[in-house]
Structure 1
Amino acid sequence: MSTIGSYLKKHTEALVKDVGIEPACQLTGKSKATLGRYYSDHDEHADRFMPVDAVAALEEAASYPHVTGALAELRGVGLEFNGSRRNTDRSGGVNSDVIALSQRFAMLMAEYQQSIEDGVITVNEAKRLLRETTQLQQVLINMKLHLEEETS
């Protein structure tokens, strides 16, 4: 089995164990044996991987998106996990999003102004800017979801 396959299977197992085997069976509609095959490292199961819809269902119930995180790591992408799941509550609509967007942008600019005062952006200042940028991105995602709801 490839290193990537083995890596994904380990994270699939962590996902199933995070949710629990019985709840995982209910959420995915798969048997214990089938779920076990998805993370088995035996040669006869080397080409079996959990379907994306099953991963999504389990990650919704899990404490952490194990498989999504593993895929991101394999691609060299970093994820910032925010347990609040803010995207699930999108009340307020586009008008609220525009207000939140302007507030977040103002916070980002204030952080930038403070960081650049001495002409050098330190590592800690860069981390704070990154955090603000991520928060701004989250507002844009919520706005996009609202706009998609309004157009469908």
Structure 2
Amino acid sequence: MDSVASYLKKHTEALVKDVGIEPACELTGKSKATLGRYYSDADEHSDRFIPVDAVARLEAAASYPHVTAALAELGGGALSYDTDRKNTDGGINSDVIALSQRFAVLMAEYQQSIEDGVISINEAKRLLRETVALQKVLIDMKLHLEDESG
């Protein structure tokens, strides 16, 4: 088995164990044996990997997105993980309110930053934090819209 496959299988195992084998079976609709094959390093299971929909369900219940982080690392990327997802259950109306609040905070930060005509490094960092927070609200809004559109 190549190093990429081995790496993904180790992170799949960490994900399943993070959630717990019984809850993982319930969340994915897979048996213990099937889940075990996804992270087995035995030659007969070297070409079996966990489906992406199962990863999404398990990572929603896990303490950390193990497989997603592994994929990001393998692709040369980095994962910015945020456990503070307050806006995930409110629906579109909550998204619109959160969006306007976040945008107002961003504009206030921007106004304060340009008062002297120069945006300092600390001011740029605050603007970046607010931009990322705004982006998270937009992602939640996108997910809610996709969910409602079927």
> How many residue pairs are counted as aligned between the two chains?
149
Match of 2:63 in 1: 63
Q: Residue 77 and residue 87 in structure 1: after superposition, are their counterparts in 2 closer, same or farther (change >3 A)?
A: farther
Deviation, structure 1 residue 90: 2.2
Q: CA RMSD in A?
A: 2.7
Distance (Å, rounded) in 2 between the aligned partners of 1:142 and 1:104? 13
Question: Aligned letter for 1:65?
Answer: P
Deviation, structure 1 residue 23: 1.6
Q: Residue 103 and residue 85 in structure 1: after superposition, are their counterparts in 2 closer, same or farther (change >3 A)?
A: closer
Match of 2:25 in 1: 25
Match of 2:137 in 1: 139
- 1:128 counterpart = 2:129: no
Deviation, structure 1 residue 97: 3.8
Contact 2:72 2:79 in 1 (8 A): yes
Deviation, structure 1 residue 15: 0.4
State, as a whole percentage, how many aligned pairs show the same letter. 74
Residue ranges of structure 1 left out of the alignment (5+ in a row): none
**Correspondences of 1:1-152 after superposition (within 5 Å):** 1-91=1-91, 93=93, 96-114=94-112, 117=116, 119=118, 121-122=120-121, 125-148=123-146
Deviation, structure 1 residue 150: 6.2
Distance (Å, rounded) in 1 between the aligned partners of 2:139 and 2:11? 27
Residue ranges of structure 2 left out of the alignment (5+ in a row): none
With normalisation by structure 2, the TM-score equals 0.77
- Of 41-50 and 83-92, more deviation after overlay is shown by 83-92
Question: Aligned letter for 2:75?
Answer: R
Q: Residue 88 and residue 104 in structure 1: after superposition, are their counterparts in 2 closer, same or farther (change >3 A)?
A: closer
Deviation, structure 1 residue 75: 2.4
